[in-house]
């Protein structure tokens, strides 16, 4: 997990990490990825909204409407897929940097007409 964390955080300086739902989550303008099933010997990384990430990544798995996964059985596999993981992380940051920002939910202050 440490090496995966290092690769993600070095891929793009816009990415940050925090703990959410008792696991490490990486984010930029929204959740990018989280460790799942972290009590198993392999590393399972869930790309929270991975279906939105543009590009072809041979080791990104899944076909559902939202999440995708990258799985690593050992450190050698993490190192072998490091460039791909970094490209996925950069693609997420670029996607979110160019995505239209959602309108604020804060109600605008209405003014009364002057009399």
Domain 2-98 falls in which CATH fold?
Yope Regulator; Chain: A, (3.30.1460)
pLDDT attached to residue 101: 73
Nearest Cα to 9, choosing from 27, 35, 36, 29? 27
d(CA 14, CA 29): 9
pLDDT attached to residue 102: 65
Task: Report whether pLDDT(114) > 90.
Answer: no
What would the pLDDT profile of 43-97 be if each residue is shown by its tens digit?
999 999 999 999 999 999 999 899 999 999 999 999 999 999 999 999 999 999 9
Task: Report whether pLDDT(2) > 50.
Answer: yes
Task: Report whether pLDDT(111) > 60.
Answer: no
Angle between helix 2-11 and helix 82-98 axes, rounded to 10 deg: 40
């Amino acid at each position: 997990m440490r090496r995966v964390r290092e690769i993600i955080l070095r891929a793009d300086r816009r990415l940050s990490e925090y703990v959410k739902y008792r696991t490490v989550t990486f984010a930029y303008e929204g959740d990018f990825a989280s460790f799942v099933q972290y009590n198993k010997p392999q590393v399972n990384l869930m790309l929270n909204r991975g279906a939105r990430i543009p590009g072809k990544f041979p080791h990104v798995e899944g076909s559902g409407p939202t999440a995708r996964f990258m799985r690593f059985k050992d450190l050698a596999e993490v190192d072998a897929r490091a460039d791909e993981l970094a490209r996925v992380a950069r693609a997420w940051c670029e996607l979110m940097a160019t995505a239209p920002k959602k309108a604020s939910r804060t109600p605008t202050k209405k003014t009364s007409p002057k009399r």
